[in-house]
Every structure is written in structure tokens, then in C-alpha cells.
Amino acid sequence: MNFTLCASSEFVYPCVESLRRSNGGMAVPKSFAKPGDFTRKDNVQISYRDARKAVVTRPLMPEHLEGSLMGTKHVEEPNQKLDFVRTLLIDNHDSYTYNIYQELSIINGLPPVVVRNDDWMWKDAFHYLYEENAFDNIVISPGPGSPACATDIGICNRLLIECRDIPILGVCLGHQALGYAHGAQVVHASEPVHGRLSEIEHNGCGLFHDIPSGRNSGFKVVRYHSLIIDADSLPKEIIPIAWTSSADPLSFFKAQNYDVIPNVHKSQSGKQNSFDSFSTILPNRSSCSVDNMERRKVLMGIMHSTRPHYGVQFHPESIATCYGRQIFKNFRDITEDYWLRSRLSSTNERDFLYNACMQVSRASRSLRVPRISRSAKNKDDRFVREASRCHQIMSNEDEQNHVGMFNVTQSIGAKHLRLNWRKFDQLASQVGGARNIFCELLGGHEAENTFWLDSSSIEKRRARFSFMGGKGGSLWKQVTFKLSNESEKDFKGGGLLSIEDAQGFSRSIYLEEGFLDYLKKELLSFCYEEKDFEGLPFDFCGGYVGYIGYNLKVECGAASNRHKSKNPDACFFFADNFIVIDHCHDDIYIMSVREEATAMTPWLDDTEQKLLNLNASGKKKLECKKKLEEQTSQPASVFQGKTGFAAEKSREQYMKDVEKCMEYIKDGESYELCLTTQLRKQVEEINSLRLYLHLRDKNPAPYAAWLNFSRERLCICCSSPERFLRLDRNGMLEAKPIKGTISRGTTKEEDELLRLQLQYSEKDQAENLMIVDLLRNDLGSVCEPGSVHVPHLMDVESYATVHTMVSTIRGKKRSNVSAVDCVRAAFPGGSMTGAPKLRSMELLDSIESCARGIYSGSIGFFSYNQTFDLNIVIRTVVLHEDEASIGAGGAIVALSNPEDEYEEMVLKTRAPTKAVMDLDL
């Protein structure tokens, strides 16, 4: 669908008169808890809902802290504009913080420093803000929970009280914290609003300079919140500056269809009217009082009357918010104006250059702020060179924050790999296609130790290449990783890695740092010649093929795993001999990787001869095809009476879990929770390859896969339509999250109606938008500033059994980030967790009754040339030790209906469960 995002619009809208009404303040619910009732439990499983359902109405800020430890800021000469702005970005453990990071990196001229809200004590903040003068302003991110809960808000409340002379912008939770820190009440909104838009009216203050106001003005914003500031409780020092222009939020597409009519008002002098809260000339507070607002409108912005502190309840960083970048630009301008007006010091220059790429890790890691004077910058380009140098500096600790140093220096045990390959033009269809090639060349002995990354759905260019291979050359090996059994309280990663080589020898090692660190070191140990794969239209040139299980979330920031997986947590082959099929041009490639000092093997010659034999023997091809059709076309009557799948949870329990998720959402703990469950069935003698072939026939998918780890008695039959993340040779990252699913119709007319129903579903649009913003955040933490973009938003794609709503997010990987760093930054896929990701995974662990295992993880490849392509493991049958398991679920949002959510979960299981039932002889 074609659309234009509002962020590119430009209108000028000066100060507007406050709306008038006759019956008092805004209609927002009063708080219902006593001060001190709100308690954060350490263990989610223990009365988590009861502990967090109340919201304290007043801050418990000791008065003696007011004004304590205050310092002074160095400022510039009166008429000198700042060449760059140094921002301290406080991350409230949110999944949208790096969207703000990307915006500020562009607007400020340098990226901000990101600090988690529990990384610093006040003495640390005071040191960098006042003793080192390292920052010009502070931005407080969104986040789950309430500003009344100390573990939710961390140091933010203290910053808002103490830093009276530093510009601060609070977003969502940060906005609520600004009101709460000065005595306002934070209460439940009349309804949670997540992933939906509202039109905004404002009073024309500096934060909204050059932004229109009111209905049909074009100023529409995305909201993610369940709590609000009670406007009637605002203290005199907090001024309302923005509110919704109507009571009802809009879906994304409904907002896109509204007319955009700029409203431009000028004063009698023809000049724009605006004001800043900390100006010496303040507006009469009654002119923008809540007494002038319609009762049902929700407070969307506040500012302090004497401090340069602002807050917005909505999310200016969202992809669908109009004028979001303008708001951040205005905050930069406010910061510059504030320091230019300040006369707190006689110092003529600030002596500290901001470390552009600095990511402050947990605890007390020291900030490295290189010193360089502005006068030197004005004389030459030393500043530019130094900023560029700083942008490449990363500490080893940063790897824990998903931005590890890409060490291009090879280790002592580096492997020098060479690639040899051959291409056969337009041969694939002549030898029976991908299915026949796999069965004839790799399907013997029940296809033991084989893989097939299978683009079985190639319509509309969804996918182009299939990769298949088995146990072959001297470099082949299988690595199997199982997380440690340590208690969840102390567990931070680590586990046992088993390695079987091509000769059948096995060894085991304990990985203290975990599997992803091992994989990263392995990939960085490879040396290669780029000329070896010049001319290849695909990225996989050999390397690791397999899966990462959902429980590896503990290596990606999650606190723990409540449930241990029955399956290995990661399992990969190192593929050195394999076949590639180009479905677009019908070409076949055969590929062989070896160490530079090793002689070539006859594998290429042998495989070429086998392919040519397939081409020459038309009779054999037809017989094979007929045999396969007989294997996968059993009469339905044979299977009547077979025992079906047993669900982990009953229909009633699943719907209760949906309601529990909705309660967490109502309380501000999450914007969206992807609730899942498992179906299981005993299958003692099922033919796993036949099962996969049957599944791919009935439910073809662009990111399908077959993996057979014979040693583990583990086969994976995957028909996933969803890409998790891809990195190509040009350094471009791409994610394609799916959120929103509906069944296909039985007639053409019904099918089109169902497609349109999904396209314009307000609930599904909200789901999709939230995950798009989450993936923008994940990519934003490892991509070049300004490179993250959304070329396709909420497209509907149709498959054999369902329509799905799919978006595409892309960004340019930073040069100092490795392939595994990119995966670590985004795993597990946001479409399988919800947002904010870390809190959502914590909550889901407390609700779900078993481990997800391979389901919700990723299948794909990590090539030795630092590229990868991974799917999301959905629509998948996992066969492990005579049991078939199928995971399914759906995103729960404020608009969810428990019965509908259950039906959607069942819909997603139909194709894989039917495939198993059809073949369970």
C-alpha cells in the first residue's frame, strides 16, 4: 500500500489559544492507591499482578534533596551557536530507546551516550554532568512500568529534581516522571492506547515550533501507554502544553486518510507567537490551564515553569509520528538557546569533546571524554578527525550492550579458506527442481545429517535461493550447545558445547561466555579472498547452517530462563560442500570450501556427474516424482481414529492467559505480549523426510527449512513465512516481521474481503506498528545513524492457508559491528516477544508453562564471509525423540479479544498439525 509518512511534512503553526470549556478540568481517572502501596517484586511469579496493579499518586522525594549537590555549567560565549550537542540518553530498559538514539545522532551532530537507568548512582551522574561538564542536555526514554516504582524509573526522578539547570526532555515514562517528581499524580488512563495515533493540540511553546496544531492539522502522533498524568493534579510549577484534540485514537491507516489542513495563525504584528518555560517572561498559567481543555482530552505534554524541562506522553521517535524529528530538533534549539543565555560561568569554552560512540555499560565504568577546545576546532578540522576516531572506539564491555568491537585482527588459529564453485545454467527444472535434487542426491539413509534452506514459496520474489547439503568434506562438523543447569537467579549464560568432526570424533567443552560468543570468534577466525565469490548472486559461501533456540535470549539481555528446553539450545553444521538453486533463473551452483593448504577433493566432479545423470535420465526423474507423490498422497480414511495433538493448555486456560496479558498491558508493564503455547504428539515411526515434503507441498513458504541432526534424533520441518534478520555483503541489514494473520477464503470474493479485513484491522495495525518500531530500535543499535528506514509498512502477503501483515525494516550496519553482534542486538525476534522486549520476555516466562525450545528461535546460515540470513521459527514441526511438537501463539494488545486470540493461535497450527496427522502411519 502506498502512503506518505507525516514526518516529512512541514507546516508552521504558532501559538494557539487554549481550548475553552465550562465544566472544569480534564476527565482523567483519579488514583486509587495510597502512597507506599506500590511495591516491585523481584520474582515475577510471586503475585506480580497484585504487586503492580496500583500506582502511587505522589512522589516520596525527601525535601532535603531539593537543591542539594547542585553544580554550575560551563557555557559558550553569548553569540556562539553550538557545533554539536552532547546528550545523555537515559534508557529505561525500553525497546524504543535506540530510535531516539538514531534521531539524536542526526540532529545533534554526534550520537548520544546511552546509560541504563540503573547503571549510575547519583554521584556518578553528578560527576559527569557537573564536574566533567560532559553533557549539554538529557533525554529520558520511554519504558515499562510507572515512575512511582523505583526499579522502573531508576535514577530518572533524581535527575529531574536535581538537574534544574540542564535541559531535559522526557518521553512517555520520562514525561510521567517529570510530572510525578514535582507532585503530580500518575493514574490509569481511561483506556490503554498502544500503537494507535491521536491528533495533537499544543500551545505553541518552543518544543512545538514549526509544528501545526489541532484537528486536521497533520500533527498526528503514536501513543504507547496505559498510564497518564492526572491533569487536575498538576502543581503550579508544571504547565500543560499539549493534549489530544479528540478523545478517540485512530488506527494507522485511518490516520493516513485524514485530510491535512495546515492551520497558520499570526499575531497582529505578523510574527510567530511562542514562549519557553524558563524565559524571564512567562505566560499567564491560566491561559493554558486544564480549565480551558475539554474534559475527555488526555494530557500529552508538559513543561516546567522555571526549568528547561519538558515532557511528551506520545512517542516522537515512532515511524508513524508526524513532526517527530522536528520535536527533537526543537529540543536541540532549546538547549542551544538556554546555554547561550546562561551567564553562570566566565569560561569561554567547554573543554570536553563528546565520545560519539560511547555506550556506558552497567556498574561504574568510567566515561572517556577526550578533551579538545572549541577554539582548536574553529582553527582546523581536528574536531572532525577526533570525532571520527572516537566513533570507532569501543571497549570490550560494550559487547554486552550488543555493540561489540568487530576485531578484524585474525587470531593465531585463523583458518584461510578458499572457495571453488561451478554454475549450470537453467538446469534446475530439467532435473526435477529442488525437491528432486534433494531426494536424489541427499535423501538416502533417511537424509541423515542434512540441511535444506528451502525457498519453497517464490511468488512475488519473496525468496530466490535454496541451499542444501550434507556430511561431506574435511571441514564439516556438527556443533551442539546446551545451556547450563544453573539456577535462574544466578544464571547469565554458559553451557556445554559438543563438537563432532568429519571423521566422527567428538569432544565437549564448557563455554563460560555462551554460544554466541563462540560463534562470533569462529566467524572472525576465517580469512578469505573476496575474489573467490565474485559473480555469485547470493551471500552464503559456506559456513554454519542450523538454528538458535529461544532460550538463548539469556545471551541477548534477558535475565533468565524459567523453563529449560528439551531440545539443544543451538545446533549447527559447518557446511563445506553444498548445492545452491537460483529459482529466479533456474540455475544450479555447486560449492566447495576447503582450507588453503588442503588439496581439492573430487566432490565437485562427483556432484556434477550426478546432476548430469539426473538430466539424462528422464525416465528416472518421472519414476521418482511418481514415487514421491504416492508417498505423500495417502487416503484420509487410513488416519481416522489416530490420536491427535495434546495442547499444553486448554482453551479456557489459554484465554485466561490472554486476560492476564491484558492486565499487564493495562498496568503499563508492556505494550504488547506475544503469548504462545505448545501442542505435542507421540510419533514413534513417522518418516520425517516424507513429513517435510508433504508440509512444503501443502504450505510452501519463502523461509522454509529442513534440518536433520541424526545424532540428536532431532529433525526440524519448518514452513516459516517470516524472515528474522539478514545481513548481505554490502552491510545492509533487513528484518521482515509478521504481525497480523487471517485465514484464506474459500472463494475469490471471500478471500479478498478477508484480505481487506486484515489490512484495515485496527488491532493488527497496532500490533504491526509496535513491532516495526521495536525492530527499528534493534537495528538502530548496530546501524549507521540515519540509515534505518521502513520501505514497506504493513503490506499484506498471501500464502497457501493464510494472509499475513508484513513490514520491512532496513539499515546499514556500522563497520565496527560483527554479524553476531547484529543478531545479539535483535534476538529473539520482536514479533515473538512483544515490547518492551526485556520486560515482555520476563512476563511471558511467568505466564507460559513450558520452554519454547526451537519454536520462536531462528533457522538459517552464518557464512564465513560475515553474512547471514535467519528466519523466525513458526509453522514448524519439531521431531525429537519420538515426539512431534508444534508451537503457536499470537500478539496480545489492549484491543485483543481472548476468544479471537485463541482462534488465531489454532489457525496457525492447522498446516503443520495436518501434515503430521496425514503421515502418522
Which positions are catalytic?
A: 172, 315, 317
Q: How far apart are CA 705 and CA 858, in angstroms?
A: 11
Helix (H, G, I), strand (E, B) or coil at 675: strand
Q: How far apart are CA 687 and CA 695, in angstroms?
A: 12
Query: Grid coordinates representing 787?
Result: 540509515
CB 413 within 8 A of CB 525: yes
What are the helix (H) ranges across 185-283?
252-256
Q: How far apart are CA 76 and CA 344, in angstroms?
A: 10
First to last CA, the chain: 45
Q: How far apart are CA 543 and CA 520, in angstroms?
A: 12
Q: How far apart are CA 121 and CA 364, in angstroms?
A: 9
The closest alpha carbon to 394, from 108, 821, 727, belongs to 821
Q: How far is CA 849 from the centre of its chain?
A: 24
CB 689 within 8 A of CB 452: no
The closest alpha carbon to 917, from 697, 707, 638, belongs to 638
- For 566, residues 6+ apart whose C-beta sits below 8 A from its C-beta are 851, 853, 880, 881
CB 312 within 8 A of CB 259: no
Bridge-based pairing of strands 732-736 and 738-743 is unpaired
Amino acid at 257: N
CB 330 within 8 A of CB 103: no
* DSSP letter (8 states) at residue 446: G
The closest alpha carbon to 227, from 169, 184, 183, 173, belongs to 173
Residues in a beta bridge with 858: 548
Residue 696 CA neighbour count, 13 Å, CB half: 25
Bridge-based pairing of strands 802-812 and 789-798 is antiparallel
Query: Grid coordinates representing 331?
Result: 529540543
Query: Grid coordinates representing 510?
Result: 564448557
Q: How far apart are CA 26 and CA 244, in angstroms?
A: 11
Q: Other C-beta atoms within 10 Å of 183: how many? A: 16
Query: Grid coordinates representing 791?
Result: 520501505
